[in-house]
Amino acid sequence: MHAFLNLLEKHNAQNYLKRRTLTTLQVNMGNLCNQNCVHCHINASPFGEKVMGKEVARSILGFLARYKVRTLDVTGGAPELNPNFQNFIVKARSLVEEIIVRSNLTVILEPGNEYLPKFFKDYNVHLICSLPCYLQENVDTQRGDGVFQNSIKALQLLNSLGFSRKKGLSLDLVYNPAGANLPPEQSQLEIQYKENLRDNYGVDFDRLLTITNVPIKRFKDYLQQKGEYEKYFKLLKDNFNPLVLDSLMCRTFLSVGYDGKIYDCDFNQSLGLALKNDAGDLLTIATLSPKEIEGKEISIGEHCLSCTAGNGSSCQGVLHDNKQKKSDSIFVLEEELNTKESVKDYYGKVLKDKNDLKTNACCTSDSMLPEHKAILSKVEPEILSKFYGCGSPLPPALKNCKVLDLGCGTGRDVYLASYLVGDKGFVFGLDMTDEQLEIARKYKDTQMKKFGFKHCNVDFRKGYIEDLKTARIKDNSMDVIISNCVINLSPNKRDVFKEIFRVLKPGGELYFSDVFSGMRIPKHVKDDPILYAECMGGALYIEDFRRMLNSLGCRDYRIVSKRPIVFKNPELEAKAGMIDFYSMTVRAFKLDALEDICEDYGQIATYLGTIAGCPHRFMLDDHHIFITDKPMLVCGNTAAMLSETRYGKYFEVKGDKKSHFGPFNCSPVSIKTENKESLGGGCC
């Protein structure tokens, strides 16, 4: 264990690996399998004798009935071969939000299993299926002759039933490397998989998950036979990535063995590292209370190097999309990890409620719409008192939309948006702070009842705003993304905006409030932990923000509102010096047609007055207020924002871009003119 411990100590993380609130229960139904793979860490095979019985299955169902767990993750061997599998899934379906079954695909074609594809569909099972390559030779070498062709047949059958092609029927694939190698970059490999499988076999899937092989049991034997065990161990150690520690699955994950014993993870189960109580007695799922193990240290070993190497590895694929150069990675990762930990401590432990804040940067503005205030009167007081934000970043026309709130905290804006999107819309909240998410999740059922919704239309996920893939947010999936005074806290803002424009649908809207500055922030302000946590140290210089968006393909943004930030603390004000800070609400759209200055095409826009809550006027930004039924001359960018987004049905836009009349009588987007006069974003 010395190598892994030494690396933890090197990064001051030796006391870091402790359990958090349980969100995923993984159930290992035994080691019976119809395949005999070289990388298998539980020695599964057709001769497996460790099979979960009815009593243990009943104990797991009892646990799920007593405690709120979001995800049930069922694995094996091939769990479908367990005689209790079908009954177990049927009874578990109503007890959790999500059921995952990890399938090797070929088991679907085994005699007697013909029912499985439709059964998976009927019970809305999320399938995560093994396919270690898109080439037949590689798969058959690793898994046995004929496995590839049978896997393709199974995938085609699942596609025909709607998996990966219809909403709610998720089908992911898993890649494991062959030999002593780390997985390649997940997103790039996913592109290759999708192209090859679609072009050659007509197969579709949702995500590719790359998983690092763990050198235990059969895979360790394989490496030793090849003389590659030491090489692989060194590879894992040399690629240790401290930034993935916070996202390790063992922190919110529990594994149940075939005999009912519980473990921090599936790999610890394979090694027999079962959890015990304070008296030293083995814990079992029949008597366990999740609070009993929350905050406890996780059992670690040298095998943990596999989950912390490179981009990290979990049952949901990579843990962090690390783009840093090798020579700079340790310094950058340490700095980013420390920043995130400092922010989490401040918002999770230091602040008790918003009255503890030392500035008004993260306090909600009094300019909130009356109708929004009315909705918030239905929101639980604890959610409101422990919510920290600036402004009210909720655009109009949200009915039936899919919305993502980055850095949702206790969920105030998620629940506000939940009411506005209605029971046919959906809102995701993402945050990295357990204490905040615990409050947000605690009131889900209560809030749905208060809003009069029959079904829950919110989901809170743990994750980082720089890496939305780990939180399972798909490409082009969101109508609107909101954020309330959070992006400034990110140590890697470019990745945040890159991810935002990845997951927004074409024509989708980013609408957020945050802290900006009139100059670049000096190092002594950035390094002050209180100024950083109070949203000052990480504030974006407005011109750097413009340049960043432009480099990501967003050539125009609009400022909706802007107010100066007032310090409550003279000491912090002195540290900040002459920097001017502002709380600003900004909107931007995912539109290819925008230009970097406003151009005149003779277009005219008329607001029809049909947006709910806006009968007389619509405010696009602080200098575009459209009066109902009044035609207004607009630049090409504004015309696109009003006609190529969800706002299109509320406007009549006349004219196209066939005739050009030169620059519009307004400014380029927040750039300086030759006489150094500062100009605002968009038309003015």
Mean pLDDT of 307-326: 75
User: Do 359 and 478 reside in the same domain of the chain?
Assistant: yes
Tell me the per-residue pLDDT of 414-431, one tens digit each, with 9 for 90 and over.
999 999 999 999 999 999
Domain assignment of residue 514, yes or no: yes
**The three-state (H, E, C) secondary structure of 51-78, written as one string:** ECCHHHHHHHHHHHHHCCCCEEEEECCC
Residue 86, CB half-sphere, CA atoms under 13 Å: how many?
Answer: 11
Domain assignment of residue 516, yes or no: yes
Say if residues 492 and 466 touch (Cβ distance below 8 Å). yes
Residue 454 corresponds to which tokens in the numbers above?
């029959």
Question: What DSSP state is assigned to residue 325?
Answer: -
Q: What CATH number does the domain containing 38 carry?
A: 3.20.20.70
CA 674 to chain centre: 43
35 pLDDT higher than 60: yes
User: Do 560 and 605 reside in the same domain of the chain?
Assistant: no
Higher pLDDT, 489 or 663: 663
User: Do 585 and 607 reside in the same domain of the chain?
Assistant: no
Say if residues 496 and 340 touch (Cβ distance below 8 Å). no
User: Do 582 and 603 reside in the same domain of the chain?
Assistant: no
Domain assignment of residue 645, yes or no: yes
User: Do 644 and 532 reside in the same domain of the chain?
Assistant: no
Could you give the CA distance from residue 394 to residue 413 in angstroms, rounded to a whole number? 8
Domain assignment of residue 316, yes or no: no
Give me the number of domains the chain comprises: 3
pLDDT of residue 532: 67
The 3-state DSSP class for residue 224 equals helix
User: Do 122 and 52 reside in the same domain of the chain?
Assistant: yes
Q: Which of 298, 317, 332 is at the close of a domain? A: 298
Element (H, E) at 562: strand 557-564
Tell me the per-residue pLDDT of 120-179, one tens digit each, with 9 for 90 and over.
999 999 999 999 888 888 888 777 788 999 999 999 999 999 999 998 899 999 998 878
Say if residues 241 and 235 touch (Cβ distance below 8 Å). no
| Alpha helix (H) residue ranges in 171-249 | 186-201, 217-226, 229-238
β-bridge mates for residue 283, sequence order: none
346 pLDDT higher than 50: no
Domain assignment of residue 29, yes or no: yes
Pairing of strands 504-517, 540-541: parallel
* Residue numbers of the domain that contains 606: 597-684
Domain assignment of residue 319, yes or no: no
Could you give the CA distance from residue 79 to residue 27 in angstroms, rounded to a whole number? 9
The 3-state DSSP class for residue 506 equals strand
Higher pLDDT, 314 or 647: 647
User: Do 560 and 654 reside in the same domain of the chain?
Assistant: no
347 pLDDT higher than 90: no
Q: Which of 589, 617, 649 is at the close of a domain? A: 589
User: Do 571 and 611 reside in the same domain of the chain?
Assistant: no
User: Do 456 and 475 reside in the same domain of the chain?
Assistant: yes
Say if residues 638 and 589 touch (Cβ distance below 8 Å). no
What is the band of 680 on the pLDDT scale with cuts at 50, 70, 90? very low
Tell me the per-residue pLDDT of 610-637, one tens digit each, with 9 for 90 and over.
999 999 999 999 989 999 999 999 999 9
Tell me the per-residue pLDDT of 434-489, one tens digit each, with 9 for 90 and over.
888 999 999 999 999 999 999 999 999 988 899 888 788 999 999 999 999 899 88
Could you give the CA distance from residue 267 to residue 273 in angstroms, rounded to a whole number? 9
β-bridge mates for residue 515, sequence order: 583
What is the band of 658 on the pLDDT scale with cuts at 50, 70, 90? very high
Rounded to the nearest integer, the mean pLDDT of the chain is 86
Identity of the residue numbered 459? D
What DSSP assignment string belongs to 430-462?
EES-HHHHHHHHHTHHHHHHHHT-SS--EEEEE
Say if residues 545 and 512 touch (Cβ distance below 8 Å). no
Say if residues 643 and 653 touch (Cβ distance below 8 Å). yes
Say if residues 547 and 674 touch (Cβ distance below 8 Å). no
User: Do 101 and 199 reside in the same domain of the chain?
Assistant: yes
Burial 25-52 (b: 16+ CB within 10 A, else e): bbbbbbbbbbbebbbbbbbbbeebebbb
The 3-state DSSP class for residue 630 equals coil
Could you give the CA distance from residue 278 to residue 592 in angstroms, rounded to a whole number? 59
pLDDT of residue 677: 35
Q: What CATH number does the domain containing 664 carry?
A: 3.40.5.100
User: Do 262 and 157 reside in the same domain of the chain?
Assistant: yes
Question: What DSSP state is assigned to residue 509?
Answer: E
Could you give the CA distance from residue 308 to residue 212 in angstroms, rounded to a whole number? 9
Q: Which of 276, 298, 320 is at the close of a domain? A: 298
Pairing of strands 478-484, 504-517: parallel
Tell me the per-residue pLDDT of 147-163, one tens digit each, with 9 for 90 and over.
999 999 999 999 999 99
Burial 516-540 (b: 16+ CB within 10 A, else e): bbeeebeeebbebebbbbbbbbbbb
Domain assignment of residue 5, yes or no: no
Could you give the CA distance from residue 463 to residue 312 in angstroms, rounded to a whole number? 14
pLDDT of residue 367: 60
Q: What CATH number does the domain containing 466 carry?
A: 3.40.50.150
Domain assignment of residue 72, yes or no: yes
Element (H, E) at 1: none
β-bridge mates for residue 581, sequence order: 517
Q: How many helices (H) and strands (E) does the chain have?
A: 23, 21
Give CA separation, 516 vs 289, 487, 618, in Å.
Answer: 45, 10, 25
User: Do 627 and 555 reside in the same domain of the chain?
Assistant: no
664 pLDDT higher than 60: yes
656 burial (CB, 10 Å; 0-12 / 13-18 / 19+) is exposed
Tell me the per-residue pLDDT of 253-301, one tens digit each, with 9 for 90 and over.
999 999 999 999 989 988 899 999 888 899 999 999 988 888 888 999 9
Could you give the CA distance from residue 231 to residue 180 in angstroms, rounded to a whole number? 7
Residue 148 corresponds to which tokens in the numbers above?
């590839």
Pairing of strands 581-589, 632-634: unpaired
